Structure 1
Amino acid sequence: MFGSDPSQRNVDSRNGLNAGWVPHVCALTALACCLIALAGWATGQPGIAGFGNQSYPMRPLTAAGFGLVALALIAAIWRQRALTLVLMLPVVLIAAGVALDYAGNAPTIADRLLLSIGRAARQGHPHGTLPGPMPIAMMILLAVATLLALREVSRRSKIVVMIASLVLGVTIIAGLAVPLGIVAISGPGQHVTLSLPLAITTASLALALIGWRHHNGWPGLLSAQGVEGRTLRTIFVLVLVAPAVLGLGGLWAASLPGIAPELVEMVEAGAHVLVSAAVLFWAWSRISRENNARWAVTRALDSAPIVLTDAEGRILHWSKGCENLYLWDAGEAVGRLKHDLLATTIDQDWPAMMAEITRTGACEREMVEQRRDGTRLHILEKAQLLPVRAQDAPLVVLSMTDITERERRAAVLAARESELGSILETAPDAMIAIDDRNVIRSFNATAERMFGRPAGEMVGQDFRALMPERFRGQFDAGLADDADAGGERSRLRSLVGLRSDGTEFPIELALGAAEVGEERIFTAFIRDVTDKLAAQERHAELRDELLHVSRLSAMGEMAAGLAHELNQPLAAATNFLGAAEMLLAADAPDSGKAADLVRMASAQTLRAGEIIQRLRTFVSKGDVEVHAEPIVDVIAGAVSLSLTSVEQQKIGIRYEPDAMHRTILADRVQIQQVLVNLIRNAVDAQRDRPDARPEILLTSRGVGDGMVEIAVSDNGPGIPEEILGSPYKPFNSTKPNGMGIGLSICRRIVEFHGGTMHAENRPEGGARIRFTVPAIGNAELAT
């Protein structure tokens, strides 16, 4: 068996199993023919010895000699050298005795060897029991071939096959000459022919030898595959059949009367030459085509990095691909150990590799090898045992693949994975990978700290266990929406998380989806917003404080005007009450007029109370209350808060409302705070302008998207350029005692309502501040 262990192969040879069944069957067939012939002579029935041909049987000494050759061949197949030599000794004696009998014409020497076998058969035959010259020649050739086959040497095996093939070819001619009637049994022809039992015996022994040594000579060639094998098998049939047919044809022609022997020989020789030339030409043309195709394949293979070594790793063939890969020429590499030449670094040494490929036939290993210029290469080497004949030394085929670039990319990928893993482990947000069945695949360190659960415990668990049960349906619905949308990242959701100790905490969750093969994986990004919500709540408190302080500041700035505003009703009430007192103190008091004066004083007192209540509402620190408010009322209240009656007489103030948008959705106090701030800024900007009467224009109009724009315009000097670039920057003011936080607060109020604020200078002069607030249509208001 190719590639098998040599020691095992020797064991098989010693017990004869490696020879196969063909040699045994052929040898036993020959032995059976000899035994049948001897039995025929022993019983006095020459017809049995001739397989039905009583006139041309196998002679006794011939049967005895070939029977011993058959036994010796069986012993040789089973590696019984001593027994083979013992069985061959009588064969030598028979051959020598027959030769002496023929030389001295005294058959008594040979007859004494078979005294018990059919002496009556010699009557009328001077050599009745003696083998003829052809059988003796066949016996000697087969005996020599058997002795040569005792030693399993390639050269001897080829000689054995050659002798056996010669015997087989002669047997075909000599054995068919008599049955075909080409040669007569009587006369000289009996010395060059073989009887039917003898022909079967010699052919069987020859086939036994050829089958035993089938791996040498033409039998091995006939097992070749492809075009070459088919060509050789066809040639073999022609070469084997053509000489036999031509030889038999020559004998037949020579037996015909009137044909000169010389003519027969010339025709036979010409026929041999013609057949041989035709066979050679046909074989050459087919093998040439095969060689051309093989040459092309060889060139293609030679361009690949392939090395042929012996069992010790010594280089026998070094391809062009290896020269290009390693920069070593074939002349420098052949004869050296491959792993020494290339300074190979590998875990498995050469003997271990040989043991593995002897057991499995092939193996694959990764290694680092060095080129001639010192460059280190990562190599994937595939080793395979090349099938060889049993007596040949094993060969190893090594094919190399340069995986240096693959290893470099793998190293880069591993570094990136390590970097990504480090980022994931140190990310401030919890990152949890889940599949489409909500099963957790990964759980980073932040998630462990956030939920108080180790990753080893959570991997494989249901993700919904990290939130209270009342929120799990909301999460499932959101996951289904994300799966249907097919987006890479979902919107941010506010949910509640559940720690291992049962405490709940607010979280924000976003899901990212990715396709991994045929599976969809979601990554949950979770942030604990406990501190964020607390900060927002504190920010809201600070904002309310700031708004309150801003309103107080605005009242402080308007303190003089407010004092004048309150002085008028209070002075009037005092006057009315004084007059009433005088009427009541008169000799003839007029109670009716006194009562009217008291009522008038009470009205002025109520007026002062309304002014104070309006101021208290404006500066009070209350909760934000958004309601539907008429724009006209909001603006009128802001104007009343912003301007005293005297200022309203000095300043031309106009309001142009939008009849289609009369109601807004807002906190009345906060929007009035914005308007008060803007109106007071307009008044202050025109305070020192005696050349023109100050004017303030308030307008409202719908701007789409459900918003109403309110604008405050004046005819003052406008906003300075240095302020116009950043009008909302805190502590940036044009007033001598201003804090510069008014517009900043106003913008925050507007943005809280979902609107925007813009500051600009009018082309005709003056400034304009515009802001938007949500509008309410008539249908919504009715609802």
Structure 2
Amino acid sequence: MVVDPQAPELTVSDFRSLALATNTCLLLHDAATKRILWANPAACELLGWSVAELRPLTASDMSSSAQQYDRVLGRAWLQVAAETGVNRIEWHYRTRDGRVIPTEAVAVRVELAQGPALLVHFRDIEREQAIERQLRLTTSYVESLAQHTSTIAVMLDAAGVVRFATDTALAALGAPAEREPGRLEDLARITVGSAPGGPVGWTAVAATAAPVTHVQLDVTRPGGERAWLEGTLEAVQGGDEQDGFLMILHDVSDRVHGQLRRQRELHQENYLARYNAMGDMAMAIAHELGQPLAAAYNFLAGAAARARTAGVRRPRARTRSRTASRAPPGRSSVPGRSSTRSGRSWGTSSRSSARRTSTGSSTSASTSCSCGPRTPGSRSAWTSRPIPCTCAASAC
């Protein structure tokens, strides 16, 4: 009994049993003539022929009729495998009922007891190709949607690296379309919550997405323009692990600019209100201080003027009184003034004399004394004051 030294538990017949039991389709070709020598049950079931029916068939009988699967191309593929040892190709086999099955085939050169041979093992990839076509179609849909939608959508991985973004999102974030955007933290300052505080790191943002959180982005674009984006960050679950995050944003720059403008206007209004209040207060203080200060100033100025005037006029009045006492009778002591003017000091005597004249007691309208004839109301020409009488007459 022949055994394999690497697997002494297995005999040659055991390897034959393994080849018959595998689900991988096996075809054995002669290395020189390329004709089929043997096929396992999996290959016979897939193609619909038995081993006896497969042996006389050629590539034209069991391959697609498309030009890229011509018999000449099939033999050339096998010949390369015979020369190099292995060769891989996507080959379309045709079953007995005419159904074309796409397969992934690998031809390997093997040495048998009767000479070299080519062992071709292939598998049905029709289902895989259908899934691949569906994925390609979905990808084209997503790319078309990303190019024409106005939604700002960004896909990120667990590390915060942008894996996919719509064209609108790239423009909003200020990222170039010709290269990878990179980390979101490098493109914008992120804040969390509807009433955000300061910027936070991606780790803190990802921790709050359970499963959705509100985020705001403060973006400074290449030209220096500042923009604000607002939206949600949602954790995308893939099985038991977290595959990434989906961020849906919308531009709120106009609203934020309006709020900032309103804040500036409110600040200016408050400043003007304080300025007007200070002006009114200053006017009130000036009014309250100005009245007593003006009154005090006027009083002091009047007192000073009165003091100066009194210091000059009083000696003159005494001089004029002495001059009047030396004046001859019948002459006024004031040059250029008539002595017939009545002074205020003698108004009572004049009125008494007038009454006596009307009753027959006196016939004179004026009174004479040693100072000379005087009439009531006589005043000094310089001081505008009544000239006093210096005699001791009882009439005065």
**Taking structure 1 as the reference length, what is the TM-score of the superposition?**
0.28
State yes or no: 1:426 paired with 2:151: no
State yes or no: 1:506 paired with 2:228: yes
* Residue 353 of structure 1, CA deviation: 4.0
In structure 2, what is the Cα distance between the partners aligned to 1:443 and 1:291?
58
Change (3 A) 1:520 1:352: closer
- Greater RCO, 1 or 2 (C-alpha within 8 Å, sep 6+): 2
- Residue 379 of structure 2: aligned partner: none
In structure 2, what is the Cα distance between the partners aligned to 1:317 and 1:476?
68
- Residue 378 of structure 1: aligned partner: 102
- Residue 355 of structure 1: aligned partner: 80
List aligned pairs for 1:46-57, cutoff 5 A.
none
List aligned pairs for 1:547-566, cutoff 5 A.
none
The structure with more radius of gyration: 2
The one-letter code of the counterpart of 2:52 is G
Per-residue CA deviation, residues 63-101 of structure 1 (Å, 9 max, x unaligned), is: xxxxxxxxxxxxxxxxxxxxxxxxxxxxxxxxxxxxxxx
* Residue 324 of structure 1, CA deviation: 1.7
In structure 2, what is the Cα distance between the partners aligned to 1:314 and 1:358?
17
In structure 2, what is the Cα distance between the partners aligned to 1:327 and 1:486?
55
- Residue 488 of structure 1: aligned partner: 211
- Aligned to 1:395, the other structure's residue is in SS state strand
The one-letter code of the counterpart of 1:367 is W
- Aligned to 2:178, the other structure's residue is in SS state helix
- Residue 330 of structure 1: aligned partner: 51
* Residue 325 of structure 1, CA deviation: 0.9
State yes or no: 1:410 paired with 2:132: yes
The one-letter code of the counterpart of 1:446 is T
The one-letter code of the counterpart of 1:488 is P
Per-residue CA deviation, residues 601-634 of structure 1 (Å, 9 max, x unaligned), is: xxxxxxxxxxxxxxxxxxxxxxxxxxxxxxxxxx
In structure 2, what is the Cα distance between the partners aligned to 1:328 and 1:465?
63
In structure 1, what is the Cα distance between the partners aligned to 2:219 and 2:100?
54
Per-residue CA deviation, residues 223-258 of structure 1 (Å, 9 max, x unaligned), is: x5449xx9xxxxxxxxxxxxxxxxxxxxxxxxxxxx
State yes or no: 1:388 paired with 2:109: no
List aligned pairs for 1:500-649, cutoff 5 A.
500-514=222-236, 521-530=244-253
In terms of fraction of residues, the more strand-rich structure is 2
Change (3 A) 1:497 1:326: same
Change (3 A) 1:328 1:388: closer
In structure 1, what is the Cα distance between the partners aligned to 2:234 and 2:15?
58
In structure 1, what is the Cα distance between the partners aligned to 2:197 and 2:257?
27
Asked whether the 8 Å contact 2:24–2:43 carries over to 1, the reply is yes
Per-residue CA deviation, residues 705-755 of structure 1 (Å, 9 max, x unaligned), is: xxxxxxxxxxxxxxxxxxxxxxxxxxxxxxxxxxxxxxxxxxxxxxxxxxx
In structure 1, what is the Cα distance between the partners aligned to 2:191 and 2:13?
80
- Aligned to 1:456, the other structure's residue is in SS state coil
In structure 2, what is the Cα distance between the partners aligned to 1:470 and 1:335?
74
Match of 2:200 among 476, 489, 505: 476
In structure 1, what is the Cα distance between the partners aligned to 2:159 and 2:198?
16
In structure 1, what is the Cα distance between the partners aligned to 2:41 and 2:243?
48
- Residue 370 of structure 2: aligned partner: none
Gaps of 5+ in 2: 260-396
- Residue 466 of structure 1: aligned partner: 187
Change (3 A) 1:475 1:521: farther
* Residue 441 of structure 1, CA deviation: 3.3
Per-residue CA deviation, residues 384-407 of structure 1 (Å, 9 max, x unaligned), is: 212135xx5421111221111111
- Aligned to 1:336, the other structure's residue is in SS state coil
Change (3 A) 1:466 1:320: closer
- Residue 317 of structure 1: aligned partner: 38
In structure 2, what is the Cα distance between the partners aligned to 1:429 and 1:505?
16
In structure 2, what is the Cα distance between the partners aligned to 1:475 and 1:367?
57
In structure 2, what is the Cα distance between the partners aligned to 1:456 and 1:421?
15
Change (3 A) 1:291 1:480: closer
In structure 2, what is the Cα distance between the partners aligned to 1:341 and 1:406?
21
- Residue 28 of structure 2: aligned partner: 308
State yes or no: 1:343 paired with 2:68: no
In structure 2, what is the Cα distance between the partners aligned to 1:473 and 1:354?
71
Change (3 A) 1:501 1:298: closer
Q: Over the residues paired in the alignment, what is the CA RMSD in angstroms?
A: 4.2
* Residue 379 of structure 1, CA deviation: 0.7
* Residue 435 of structure 1, CA deviation: 4.2
* Residue 452 of structure 1, CA deviation: 4.7
In structure 1, what is the Cα distance between the partners aligned to 2:15 and 2:189?
75
Q: How many residues are treated as equivalent by the alignment?
A: 249
In terms of fraction of residues, the more helix-rich structure is 1
Asked whether the 8 Å contact 1:490–1:511 carries over to 2, the reply is yes
The one-letter code of the counterpart of 2:143 is G
- Residue 33 of structure 1: aligned partner: none
The one-letter code of the counterpart of 2:125 is I
- Aligned to 1:476, the other structure's residue is in SS state coil
- Aligned to 1:328, the other structure's residue is in SS state coil
List aligned pairs for 1:97-176, cutoff 5 A.
none
**Taking structure 2 as the reference length, what is the TM-score of the superposition?**
0.51
Asked whether the 8 Å contact 1:315–1:338 carries over to 2, the reply is no
In structure 1, what is the Cα distance between the partners aligned to 2:82 and 2:16?
28
Between the two proteins, what is the percent identity of the paired residues? 19
* Residue 367 of structure 1, CA deviation: 2.0
Asked whether the 8 Å contact 1:307–1:315 carries over to 2, the reply is yes
Change (3 A) 1:426 1:489: farther
In structure 2, what is the Cα distance between the partners aligned to 1:440 and 1:291?
56
- Aligned to 2:64, the other structure's residue is in SS state coil
- Aligned to 2:223, the other structure's residue is in SS state coil
The one-letter code of the counterpart of 1:366 is E
In structure 2, what is the Cα distance between the partners aligned to 1:441 and 1:317?
50
In structure 2, what is the Cα distance between the partners aligned to 1:435 and 1:298?
44
